[in-house]
A and B are shown apart, each in its own frame.
Chain A
Amino acid sequence: MKKQLFVLGAVILAVAMILSACAPAATQAPAATEVPAATQPPAAPQATATSVPGPAVTKVSEWDYQSADPQKTQWQTVLNECTASTGIAIDRQAVPRDELITKVLLAAQQKQLPDVLRIDNPDLQQVADTGALAPLTDYGVDLSGLYPNLIQAGSYKGKVYGIAPGINGMALIYNKDMFAAAGVQPPTTWAEVEDVAAKLTKGGVYGIAFSAPATEEGSWQFEPWFWGAGADLSKLDSPEAVKALQFWTDLVTKGYASKSVVQWSQGDVNDQFMAGKAAMQQNGVWNLSALEKAKINFGVVPIPKPDGGAAPGPMGGEVLTIPNSGDAAKMEAAGKVVNCLLSDKEMLEWATLQAYIPSRQSVAAQSVANDPNMKSFVDAAAAEFSRTGPPANLGPNYSKVSQPLWNAIQAALTGAKSPQDALTAAQQQAESALK
């Protein structure tokens, strides 16, 4: 027994010695790397500090979450064009959306952020709040003519940290052939949505398809109905909110929408629509190019408010940001790349490829001229709410409200709770998370 104690003590001692041996090494390391650093890179920061023209930096890194085609290639197209026009090579890493924020946080911890970072707009304020981003205006980004709600979504504490080259929104996309066969008109009120969906539901075809997974996508798809009813994210269990969730729940319990909506991503919803399994879908503008390519006879109408008129939807789109990498020359170069990506030419080209709404209003008008199906979306764009902005002004706390909301949607749609109970619980959770 004594011997064991001795061994144990000795092991602890040995480990402590190893660890203490590591510690001075860690503190010495920066000093050691400073020596070669002093001989090479300082030339670059000094060059830009005195603003000598000409690119001192020939390569910047960029991260985004468009890791799947066709979006992956579409974004690469404009990145390549900006490399050609700025002379700055772009080292791109596209990671799946779920992983991007975690990757960014770890990179921020290790001080290894990329030079250009493209994130979803509701995440912007949360990331800006950490202090990881630099204001875009320091790099001469032109804010004129942009949608005001986009600037709002990209701002944090009065400074603009992120701007998207294109924004997106949702609408109801309907199958014209099925509507004609059933003799119905596209809906303009909630009652009509339900009525039309009821008439179109038959023989393995659902009247309507939407997406309500346990991710931000679920909250995002619900928000047009939520805001359309007059609800506000600062009070998830208001009578208006309950009314909106009751409406969605009825569509599912009456069988006009599949119970699988709680599993479907928006991509799945579009697949259902393209396969003729749903007569109408709530989906984003980015699906238009695929639908047109598939030669589906479809029409687009706005998501209505309960008694008619277009409901305000959430503004979608990924914003370009310049992280605080601490390397002035690289940040300068990143600024040039961002400016190129936000130029009218690249904006229109990419927005057309991906079927997004260009974020400068004059450019957006051009895209309507090119594709009339864009009209519903562009008309709605100016009225879209930034999820982090008014009326609730949640800012960096948006995700703390959005998560209880999507869980409440799931609980109601699956019948685990009534819409009222689900939203009451969600409001309590949001309040405790915001404390």
Chain B
Amino acid sequence: MATKQDRDDPNMARVVEGAAAHAAAPLIHRVGRWQRREQLIGLLFLGPAAFYLVAFYVYPILLNFYMSVTRYTAKSFVTGEAPFIGLDNFKRLVSNPDFSTAVRNTVVFTLGSLFFQFAIGLAIALFFQRKFPLSGVLRALILMPWLAPVLVSGAVWVRLFDMDYGVVNFVIRTLGVTSQHIAWLTDPHLAPISVLIANIWIGIPFNMVILYGGLQAIPGELYEAAAIDGASPWQRFRYISWPLLRTVSTVVLLLGLVYTLKVFDVIMSITRGGPANVSQTLNTYAYSLSFSLLDFGLGAAAGDILMVVVLIFGLLYLRYAYRVEREAGQ
């Protein structure tokens, strides 16, 4: 501890000196003291947040990373011994074909959810832009999927998708599309799509609400002026709504991205990642490695990879936000 302080102190002094020299005024002494006090108060305010971040984010993430380079098994919990094995877990993970399925599913699931949730959400928001009787009630009803607990929605979708007695197949057969019983949840090609459909359904209301709010914020005069100029409905959307929704859209998409990457309960309650791991995402796969196979090191390695993915998107977002801020400033 002492060595660290020794190392930090000269640094601090140098920085403070620099700041003082910068001030370059006759009142150097008093200003310096005032500045130092202000900085100290600032640090006190930072303290709780910094402690929270370290205790609940930095520490668990570092621990997870440490677990991913050790052979951490059920035994390790009792004995506390987990031998260091370097990148072995990552090698074992990458060589498993289920892992590449999980990665592919994560990408398809995330992009598919974002695209359809946004497109359908926007369409519904535009629909509600014009007032009609009971539009308020209808809008409230559309929120339902968002309000229902995900596990409940999951159980309902399992019923809907049931091969023999499900509503979806009943409707399809009644409409005469096909007389086959479609195995929505047990066909290895369909199961990931079925989970995707359910997740899109759950996410539409969120997109709709935020985009509707964004549309409401666009001044009505713009549309009136455009109408006078003879703009078609498409042109009004293309040249007014769409560009003015850009900021809101970005927020919706980025929040949606984070929500989708961490989706766990939807998949667990509908297919549990099955059959034969075809509908696993990185998230559920990491869980099954840790808590079903009890290979905690391997699960931690899968978790690491997911974190890196999230980090990349997080950085992209920060860069984007920074650019928007700068553009707004100019």
In the complex, chain B residues whose CB is within 8 Å of the CB of A263: 158, 185-186, 271, 274-275
- Contact partner, A108, options B78, B96, B271, B273, Cβ 8 Å: B78
- Contact partner, B273, options A7, A16, A214, Cβ 8 Å: A214
Main secondary structure of the interface of A (DSSP, over half): helix
How many angstroms between the C-alpha atoms of A410 and B295 in the bound complex? 21
**Stretch of A82-90, A124-132, A152-160 contacting B (4+ beta carbons < 8 Å):** A124-132
In the complex, chain A residues whose CB is within 8 Å of the CB of B224: none
- Contact partner, A126, options B1, B15, B187, B294, Cβ 8 Å: B294
Contact B78 A130 (CB under 8 A): yes
Contact A18 B275 (CB under 8 A): no
How many angstroms between the C-alpha atoms of A101 and B75 in the bound complex? 12
Central interface residue in B12, B163, B188, B271, by most chain A CB within 10 Å? B188
Contact A410 B54 (CB under 8 A): no
Provided the pairs A130-B77, A410-B275 are in contact, do residues A432 and B95 lie with their beta carbons within 8 angstroms?
A: yes
Contact B74 A415 (CB under 8 A): no
In the complex, chain B residues whose CB is within 8 Å of the CB of A50: none
Closest beta carbon of chain B to A225's beta carbon, Å? 18
Closest beta carbon of chain A to B293's beta carbon, Å? 6
Closest beta carbon of chain B to A397's beta carbon, Å? 11
B23-54 residues with Cβ-Cβ distance < 8 A to A are 39, 42-43, 46-47, 50-51, 54
Contact B43 A10 (CB under 8 A): yes
- Contact partner, A7, options B1, B43, B277, B294, Cβ 8 Å: B43
Provided the pairs A14-B50, A130-B78 are in contact, do residues A415 and B164 lie with their beta carbons within 8 angstroms?
A: no
- Contact partner, A414, options B4, B15, B75, B275, Cβ 8 Å: B275
In the complex, chain B residues whose CB is within 8 Å of the CB of A215: 292
In the complex, chain A residues whose CB is within 8 Å of the CB of B276: 214, 262, 407-408, 410-411, 414, 416-417, 422
How many angstroms between the C-alpha atoms of A5 and B96 in the bound complex? 44
How many angstroms between the C-alpha atoms of A410 and B5 in the bound complex? 59
Contact B51 A258 (CB under 8 A): no
In the complex, chain B residues whose CB is within 8 Å of the CB of A413: 275
Contact B277 A14 (CB under 8 A): no
We find that the number of chain A residues with CB closer than 8 angstroms to chain B is: 56
Closest beta carbon of chain A to B14's beta carbon, Å? 9
Closest beta carbon of chain A to B136's beta carbon, Å? 40
Central interface residue in A18, A19, A105, by most chain B CB within 10 Å? A105
- Contact partner, B163, options A16, A18, A130, A260, Cβ 8 Å: A260
Closest beta carbon of chain B to A260's beta carbon, Å? 6
In the complex, chain B residues whose CB is within 8 Å of the CB of A105: 74, 77-78, 294
Contact B163 A258 (CB under 8 A): yes
Closest beta carbon of chain B to A403's beta carbon, Å? 6
In the complex, chain B residues whose CB is within 8 Å of the CB of A106: 77
- Does B325 touch A at the CB level, under 8 Å? no
- Does A429 touch B at the CB level, under 8 Å? yes
Contact A15 B15 (CB under 8 A): no
How many angstroms between the C-alpha atoms of A415 and B186 in the bound complex? 10
How many angstroms between the C-alpha atoms of A137 and B39 in the bound complex? 66
In the complex, chain B residues whose CB is within 8 Å of the CB of A102: 291
In the complex, chain A residues whose CB is within 8 Å of the CB of B95: 432
- Does B11 touch A at the CB level, under 8 Å? yes
Closest beta carbon of chain A to B73's beta carbon, Å? 9
Please provide the 7 A-B residue pairs with the shortest distance between their CB atoms, ordered closest to farther: A410-B276, A416-B188, A411-B276, A130-B78, A105-B77, A6-B15, A410-B275
- 13 new A-B pairs (CB below 8 Å) besides A101-B74, A105-B77, A411-B275? A5-B15, A9-B8, A9-B11, A11-B43, A13-B4, A14-B43, A132-B78, A213-B274, A260-B185, A262-B276, A399-B293, A400-B293, A403-B293
In the assembled complex, 10 residue pairs joining A and B whose CB atoms fall closer than 8 Å, in A order, are: A6-B16, A11-B46, A17-B1, A130-B75, A215-B292, A259-B186, A263-B186, A263-B275, A400-B293, A425-B97
